[in-house]
Amino acid sequence: MKRLRLDRWTGQLLLARPGASPASTPRAALRAAAAVPSRCAAVRSQSTGAAVPQIPREDVDDYYDGTDHTRFPPLEPLPPRATSLPSPPPERALQSAKLAALHARLSLPERLPLQTLARALVDASADENPQFNNTTLAFVGQSLINYHVAEWVMCRYPRLPMDIMYATMKGYAGASSLHHVARAWGVEHAAAPGGEVDPGLLQFSLHKPGDAIVGLGYRRAEADGMKKYKWRHGMSSRVVFDDDFGEVVDTEDAKDELRLRRDTEYGNEYTRALAEKAFATCARAVTGAIYAHAGRDAAKAFVQAHVLSRTLDLSKLFAFAKPTRELSMLCAREDFEPPVARLLSETGRMSRTPVFVVGIFSGKDKLGEAAGPSLEVARNKAAMNALKSWYLYSPGEGVRVPSDMLADDARPWEPAYIDIGEVVGR
């Protein structure tokens, strides 16, 4: 490839404005050359040709590119001041094809207007004004989603330890899950927020993260020390202080280093987290909008259809430290006979690939069973299986939740199964 030689470039090239020049299409260029001389045509200093007569500037439109406007009418003009606004004005929502398509794709109720849906797509980082961004809607939506997920998990799996309960909540209703939900709806994001952007695009900014609060939780005074010195924080304080997923409400100062690098890298952990948060906030805001316009039942059905219908294998959430000891404590607490591990079958003990099948028995009842390459591993796995089958007890698929009682024709409430608590507290 030949190198460009800047000194040989003529004035025409340097003067040409990309995009806005009259000669942006070949046909338009021909027409422009015949009729109207280019506004920015350079006249060479040594030129012998007659100077092209300049016609007055007033009667040539600045952006006119020779298009026949009777055949191809110009795009709809933006309302005045649209480009100076931080987010699209609400009246433009009715003109957006993307927004109408999103409304129909989610089968949203007719009562939910497009203006509200457009507002649900404006993140607090794009528009700080809470009357035009989705913060308030997202707060309602977050409360609703977390409430429905929590009541369902508690009634469906009453024996889950608190840590696993939090992980389950996060697996269903956490930011990364809801980010996937919003992506699966076909929500696209704008490159940068602004009043001229199509209202059907999600708008958030990576440069000034909004400080909108969309969840409950206290900001701990000792949060920095917890991060720096790894101070221990027990489950009880997590329940009281932290957010709905038992996570410390984070301070923005901790991400200064990543924030400094956000423009030099294509994307880093910080920008990814911001985008994820914006998509999750959008999903929550849509839920809140449904509650605001269509009511409680529609919002519950929406949460069930889009959040609770997802699949999460709870048996993969457990990480046991000392399963055998925990199982013997469980048996002592429940007045079972102490657990005994017995070898059920084995093969190839002296070979390179031995397999031992170990069962754990309490009296005559088998609590769990597993196969492993050594006796120790097989016994631990069997104990884990026994503990999992205890913790993952479920009254059944069609378990009733408290919000079912809000229906008018609800049957009388039968008390849900409540477990006495974790085997080993923390």
Residue showing tokens 């849509």: 286
Distance CA 214, CA 162 (A): 23
Q: Does 244 bind other proteins (CB under 8 A)?
A: no
Q: Does residue 21 contact residue 40 with C-beta atoms inside 8 Å?
A: yes
Judged by CB under 8 A, which of 176, 237, 394, 403 binds other proteins? Answer: 176
Q: Does 348 bind other proteins (CB under 8 A)?
A: no
**Would you say 106 or 360 has its CB closer to other proteins?**
106
In DSSP notation, 22-47 reads TTSSHHHHHHHHHSS--TTPPPPTT-
Judged by CB under 8 A, which of 1, 4, 104, 240 binds other proteins? Answer: 104
DSSP H or E run through 378 = helix 375-391
Q: List 343's β-bridge partners, or say none.
A: 358
Judged by CB under 8 A, which of 54, 67, 129, 345 binds other proteins? Answer: 345
What's the one-letter identity of residue 303?
V
Torsion of CA 77, 79, 83, 88, to 10 degrees: -110
Give the Å distances, CA to CA, from 130 to 148, 185, 210, 212, 277: 26, 25, 11, 9, 17
Judged by CB under 8 A, which of 44, 208, 325, 342 binds other proteins? Answer: 325
The mark string for 178-217 relative to other proteins (x by CB under 8 A, - otherwise) is: --xx-xxxx-------------------------------
Q: Which strand ranges, in their side-by-side order, compose the sheet holding 365-372? A: 340-347, 355-362, 365-372
Tokens of 284: 């929550």
**Would you say 13 or 30 has its CB closer to other proteins?**
30
Residue showing tokens 């457009």: 118
Q: Does 30 bind other proteins (CB under 8 A)?
A: no
The interface region with other proteins, picked from 120-128, 274-282, 289-297, 417-425 by CB under 8 A, is: 417-425
Q: Does 226 bind other proteins (CB under 8 A)?
A: no
The mark string for 362-391 relative to other proteins (x by CB under 8 A, - otherwise) is: ---------x---------------x---x
Tokens of 283: 């999903």
The interface region with other proteins, picked from 31-39, 47-55, 174-182, 207-215 by CB under 8 A, is: 174-182
Q: Does 319 bind other proteins (CB under 8 A)?
A: yes
Give the Å distances, CA to CA, from 36 to 16, 22, 216: 16, 10, 64
**Would you say 138 or 384 has its CB closer to other proteins?**
384
Judged by CB under 8 A, which of 208, 219, 296, 426 binds other proteins? Answer: 426
Angle between helix 375-391 and helix 323-333 axes, rounded to 10 deg: 50
Q: Does 344 bind other proteins (CB under 8 A)?
A: yes
Give the Å distances, CA to CA, from 134 to 129, 213, 285: 10, 11, 6
Q: Does 163 bind other proteins (CB under 8 A)?
A: yes
The interface region with other proteins, picked from 43-51, 128-136, 157-165, 203-211 by CB under 8 A, is: 157-165
Distance CA 6, CA 4 (A): 6
Task: Give residues 256-315 in contact with other proteins (rule: CB under 8 A).
Answer: 304-306, 308-313
Q: Does 72 bind other proteins (CB under 8 A)?
A: yes
**Would you say 249 or 357 has its CB closer to other proteins?**
357
Q: How far is the CB of 55 from other proteins (least distance, A)?
A: 29
**Would you say 126 or 164 has its CB closer to other proteins?**
164
Q: Does 82 bind other proteins (CB under 8 A)?
A: no
In DSSP notation, 223-275 reads HHHHHHS-----HHHHHHHS-TTS-PPPPGGGGHHHHHTTTTSS--HHHHHHH
- At 266, give phi and psi (nearest 5°): -65, -35
Q: Does 94 bind other proteins (CB under 8 A)?
A: no
Judged by CB under 8 A, which of 60, 100, 375, 416 binds other proteins? Answer: 100
Number of residues that bind other proteins (CB under 8 A): 57
Enumerate binding residues for other proteins (CB under 8 A): 72, 97-98, 100-101, 103-107, 161, 163-164, 166-167, 170-172, 174, 176-177, 180-181, 183-186, 304-306, 308-313, 316-322, 325-326, 344-345, 347, 355, 357, 371, 387, 391, 422, 424-426
